[in-house]
């Protein structure tokens, strides 16, 4: 299959690698991680055959071991360094894991490996942006909305899942998302009842609801990253557990508005921004499309896929079709500009320059 990634350019010194400064030794056992200051020296360069880049070598002056700038890149030890970007574009475009593998001449296991790589990168980069915004000020403030989307893993009746999403209302910035289990559905047919009993016997117990834990995790992240003395409101539907969770996380001093979940979900609905965000998720993620055989087989993979989409939705996608220069993250003040996917996938858990 002839893809642009196979057209290897001439070896040139990569600008980002040339300016890169290692912050620590990659070896966790190195004394510079905990006991003594880190020091290094440059030890030449080498050309990567796989993509033609020239990479800088270093030597740690503490443990005397060698490493390179490539050690800190997301495509470290990948035979196809262009694949993470291609797989990200596929995963946020309603493409299934198997079809992405067919399109990119890769096995499904390779796509799943990159899904884990991308999901962890998305979690770490988002956390770094949020921490910087709280540290340098002013922190989060405004009106926030939370709602839950229901899907499943493996079996729609026996293994449903809840996906709560917390957003900032004005910019639609996704603050946090989680995945939790739900009990098996009620009013099952006799055949499904027997399957449920067999599953519970194999799993060692009944399936429990993790809705409260998942929504609590979302509000915990909001509490941790609120600005000092920030004014904020929370809007949800009338689910009773939300009030309990909000009182537990924020105490009694919380302005909470709620709307009947059966109200028409048009632009006049108070929860239109979060409802539209959930609709975008169902449209962009193959795992969430209704009545599809692309559904998740494991909740863990759904969570990774969800975070890949959150990274794209917050930092890469334009906030509206009429405003191409701004993303949700730049509009809310967490990022200084709209970023590209390539920038976010260069270095492991590092905020891109001038971002």
- At 126-151, the pLDDT tens digits run 999 999 999 998 999 999 999 999 99
Q: pLDDT tens for residues 29-44? A: 999 998 899 999 999 8
Helices (H), 53-188: 83-91, 97-103, 108-136
Give the whole-angstrom CA distance, residue 10 versus residue 321: 37
Asked whether residue 65 carries a pLDDT value surpassing 70, the answer given is: yes
Asked whether residue 54 carries a pLDDT value surpassing 90, the answer given is: no
pLDDT band (50, 70, 90) for residue 5: very low
| Residue 137 confidence (pLDDT) | 84
Give the whole-angstrom CA distance, residue 294 versus residue 100: 12
Give the whole-angstrom CA distance, residue 140 versus residue 137: 9
Helices (H), the chain: 15-19, 83-91, 97-103, 108-136, 190-203, 211-225, 240-250, 272-284, 299-311, 328-332, 341-344
User: How high is the mean pLDDT of the chain?
Assistant: 91
| Residue 52 confidence (pLDDT) | 80
| Residue 53 confidence (pLDDT) | 82
pLDDT band (50, 70, 90) for residue 6: very low
6 or 97: whose pLDDT is higher? 97
Tell me the β-bridge partners of 68.
57
pTM of the model: 0.92
| Residue 281 confidence (pLDDT) | 96
Q: pLDDT tens for residues 275-308? A: 999 999 999 999 999 888 889 999 999 999 999 9
Asked whether residue 263 carries a pLDDT value surpassing 60, the answer given is: yes
Could you give the C-alpha distances from 351 to 32, 131, 294, 328, 334, in angstroms and in order?
23, 11, 32, 16, 11
Q: pLDDT tens for residues 103-131? A: 999 999 999 999 999 999 999 999 999 99
Average pLDDT on 49-76 reads 91
Asked whether residue 313 carries a pLDDT value surpassing 90, the answer given is: yes
Give the whole-angstrom CA distance, residue 112 versus residue 159: 21
CA atoms in the 13 A half-sphere facing the CB of 301: 22
Radius of gyration, CA atoms only, the chain: 23
CB atoms within 10 A of CB 26: 16
Give the whole-angstrom CA distance, residue 76 versus residue 144: 38
Q: pLDDT tens for residues 165-224? A: 999 999 999 999 999 999 999 999 999 999 999 988 988 889 999 999 999 999 999 999
Task: Provide the pairing of β-strand 160-168 with 174-177.
Answer: antiparallel
- b/e map 180-211, b = 16+ CB within 10 Å: bbbebeeeeeeeeeebbeebeeeeeeebeebb
């Amino acid at each position: 299959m002839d893809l642009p990634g196979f057209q290897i350019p001439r070896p040139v010194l990569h600008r980002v690698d040339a300016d890169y400064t290692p912050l620590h030794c990659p070896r966790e056992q190195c004394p510079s991680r905990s006991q003594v200051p880190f020091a290094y020296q440059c030890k030449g360069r080498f050309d990567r055959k796989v993509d033609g880049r020239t990479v800088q070598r270093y030597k740690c002056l503490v443990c005397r071991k060698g490493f390179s700038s490539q050690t800190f890149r997301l495509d470290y030890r990948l035979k196809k360094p262009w694949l993470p970007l291609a797989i990200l574009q596929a995963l946020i475009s309603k493409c299934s894991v198997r079809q992405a593998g067919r399109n990119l001449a890769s096995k499904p296991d390779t796509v799943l490996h990159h899904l884990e790589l991308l999901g962890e990168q998305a979690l770490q980069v988002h956390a770094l942006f949020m921490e910087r915004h709280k540290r340098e000020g002013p922190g989060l403030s405004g009106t926030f909305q939370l709602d839950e989307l229901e899907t499943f893993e493996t079996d729609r009746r026996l293994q449903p899942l809840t996906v709560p999403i917390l957003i900032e209302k004005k910019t639609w910035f996704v603050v946090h998302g989680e995945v939790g289990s739900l009990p098996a559905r009620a009013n099952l047919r006799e055949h499904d009842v027997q399957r449920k009993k067999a599953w519970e016997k194999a799993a060692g117990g009944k399936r429990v609801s993790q809705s409260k834990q998942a929504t609590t995790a979302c509000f915990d992240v909001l509490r941790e990253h609120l600005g000092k003395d920030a004014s904020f409101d929370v809007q949800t539907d009338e689910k009773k557990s939300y009030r309990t969770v909000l009182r537990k996380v924020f105490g009694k001093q919380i302005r909470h508005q709620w709307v009947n979940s059966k109200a028409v979900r048009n632009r006049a609905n108070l929860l239109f921004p979060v409802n539209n965000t959930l609709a975008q998720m169902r449209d962009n993620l193959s795992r969430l499309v209704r009545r599809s055989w692309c559904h998740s087989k494991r909740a863990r993979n759904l969570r990774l896929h969800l975070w890949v989409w959150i990274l794209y939705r917050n930092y890469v996608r334009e906030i509206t079709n009429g405003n191409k220069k701004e993303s949700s993250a730049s509009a809310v003040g967490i990022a200084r500009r709209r970023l590209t996917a390539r920038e976010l996938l260069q270095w492991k858990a590092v905020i891109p320059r001038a971002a």
